[in-house]
């Protein structure tokens, strides 16, 4: 099952209770960035450039928990930077789990093997390892040799210890769909629970010509989606259809709000027009009507999961879409 019975129950309850209260903008997944520091300088990453002046700033355990309580999203995705460089990462994860949040702990895998000795597997904890291709490609994208091997070794150890492990793959302009399918097969063979994908986003601060136009995204994802052959997907089939150009979705950036040492990032995980001190101010003061395809040129080629994955679940759905989502949740297949 993609979402366990308890997470499915929490998500349904969360949607129902917000809808009943007339709240139409509510978060599904809090993107918690407790630090920006990283042990890599990946080609497509804008974070370490955007926040280069505050790379030493962090959110402490109580600030992280306070952010989770403000957003009150059932899922907290702990990202960064490299979260495992945070001196209190164990305490942050533990305190989120103790307070009944479902936690996705993201990592580039370099420090993961050692970290596994510090915490216990937990049904509410998923490890999310970033891999952008097979060894040569991935090491090229992260600009460091040996990273792929380290990440794969960490995944194998995590599976041996019974952790839930999924991977996150960013698709760039020159990504070979065949190589991504090979990567997914390798990941399945070593026991990874499933895969997540997102097309790269062209950060203002990144000048590298690696990003996709919408039509290129559609072409690449069409090829991957039609050849998955039993790979478990952690992205919904509706989001995949959107990526493959088979349907359109409206961006819902407020469903994945981002908080970091500067505050609540507005409007979304990718573009920054402001930081607000509280979640409430972020939701209230962001001019949501200004963002999305056709409204802001920075949004025109954006199809990232933090903007659109929740859109595939929220809102009125056709019966056939509900069936698709139910089948996907049970089987991981589209
Ligand atoms: S379309 Fe993309 S860049 Fe624009 S607001 Fe939505 S998530 Fe952010």
Ligand 1 centroid to residue 291 C-alpha, Å: 7
- List domains and CATH numbers for the chain: 5-331 (3.20.20.70)
Half-sphere exposure of 15 (CA within 13 A, CB side): 12
Summarised one tens digit per residue, pLDDT across range 95-145 is: 999 999 999 999 999 999 999 999 999 999 999 999 999 999 999 999 999
Ligand 1 neighbour 199 (Cβ under 6 A):
no
Give the Cα separation of 146 and 308 in Å (integer).
33
Ligand 1 neighbour 298 (Cβ under 6 A):
yes
Would the pTM of this model clear 0.85, i.e. be above it?
yes
DSSP 3-state assignment of 126?
A: strand
Residue nearest to atom 7 of ligand 1 (CA): 307
Ligand 1 neighbour 11 (Cβ under 6 A):
no
Ligand 1 centroid to residue 179 C-alpha, Å: 28
Ligand 1 centroid to residue 45 C-alpha, Å: 16
Question: Which own/partner pairs from 140-145 qualify as long-range (CB within 8 Å, at least 24 positions apart)?
Answer: 140/43, 141/42, 141/43, 141/44, 141/172, 142/40, 142/41, 142/42, 142/43, 142/108, 143/40, 143/41, 143/42, 143/43, 144/40
Ligand 1 centroid to residue 311 C-alpha, Å: 12
Ligand 1 centroid to residue 254 C-alpha, Å: 10
User: pLDDT (tens digit, 0 to 9) for every residue of the chain, 334 residues total?
Assistant: 888 899 999 999 999 999 999 999 999 999 999 999 999 988 878 787 888 888 899 999 999 999 999 999 999 999 989 999 999 999 999 999 999 999 999 999 999 999 999 999 999 999 999 999 999 999 999 999 999 999 999 999 999 999 999 999 999 888 899 999 999 999 999 999 999 999 987 655 555 566 788 888 999 999 999 998 889 999 999 999 999 999 999 999 999 999 999 999 999 998 999 999 999 999 999 999 999 999 999 998 899 999 999 998 887 788 899 898 889 988 887 7
By C-alpha distance, which of 33, 66, 64 is closest to 50?
Answer: 33
Token pair belonging to 63:
């600030």
CB atoms within 10 A of CB 54: 14
Ligand 1 neighbour 270 (Cβ under 6 A):
yes
Give the Cα separation of 179 and 189 in Å (integer).
15
Task: Describe the chain by its helix, strand, coil percentages, rounded to 5.
Answer: 40, 15, 45
Give the Cα separation of 312 and 329 in Å (integer).
13
């Amino acid at each position: 099952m993609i979402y366990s019975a308890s997470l499915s129950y929490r998500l349904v309850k969360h949607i129902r209770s917000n809808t009943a209260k007339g709240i139409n903008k509510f978060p599904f997944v809090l993107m918690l960035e407790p630090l920006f520091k990283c042990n890599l300088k990946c080609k497509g990453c804008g974070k370490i450039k955007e926040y280069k002046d505050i790379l030493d700033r962090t959110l402490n355990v109580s600030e992280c928990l306070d952010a989770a309580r403000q957003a009150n999203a059932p899922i907290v995705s702990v990202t960064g930077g490299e979260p495992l460089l945070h001196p209190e990462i164990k305490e942050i994860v533990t305190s989120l789990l103790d307070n009944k949040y479902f936690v996705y702990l993201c990592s580039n895998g370099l420090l993961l093997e050692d970290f596994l000795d510090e915490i216990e597997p937990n049904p509410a904890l998923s490890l999310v390892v970033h891999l952008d291709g097979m060894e040569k490609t991935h090491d090229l994208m992260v600009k460091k040799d040996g990273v792929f091997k380290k990440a794969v070794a960490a995944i194998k150890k995590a599976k041996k210890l019974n952790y839930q492990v999924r991977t996150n793959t960013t698709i760039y302009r020159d990504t070979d769909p065949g190589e991504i399918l090979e990567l997914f097969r390798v990941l399945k063979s070593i026991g990874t629970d499933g895969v997540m994908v997102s097309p790269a986003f062209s950060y203002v601060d990144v000048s590298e010509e690696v990003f996709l136009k919408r039509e290129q995204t559609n072409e690449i994802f069409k090829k991957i989606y039609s050849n998955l052959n039993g790979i478990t997907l952690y992205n919904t089939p509706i989001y995949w259809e959107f990526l493959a150009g088979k349907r359109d979705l409206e961006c819902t950036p407020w469903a994945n709000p981002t908080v970091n040492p500067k505050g609540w990032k507005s409007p979304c995980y990718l573009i920054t027009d402001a930081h607000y001190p509280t979640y409430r101010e972020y939701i209230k003061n962001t001019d949501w009507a200004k963002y999305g395809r056709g409204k802001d040129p920075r949004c025109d080629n954006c199809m990232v999961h933090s903007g659109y994955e929740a859109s595939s679940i929220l809102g009125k759905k056709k019966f056939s879409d509900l069936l698709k989502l139910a089948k996907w949740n049970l089987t991981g297949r589209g």
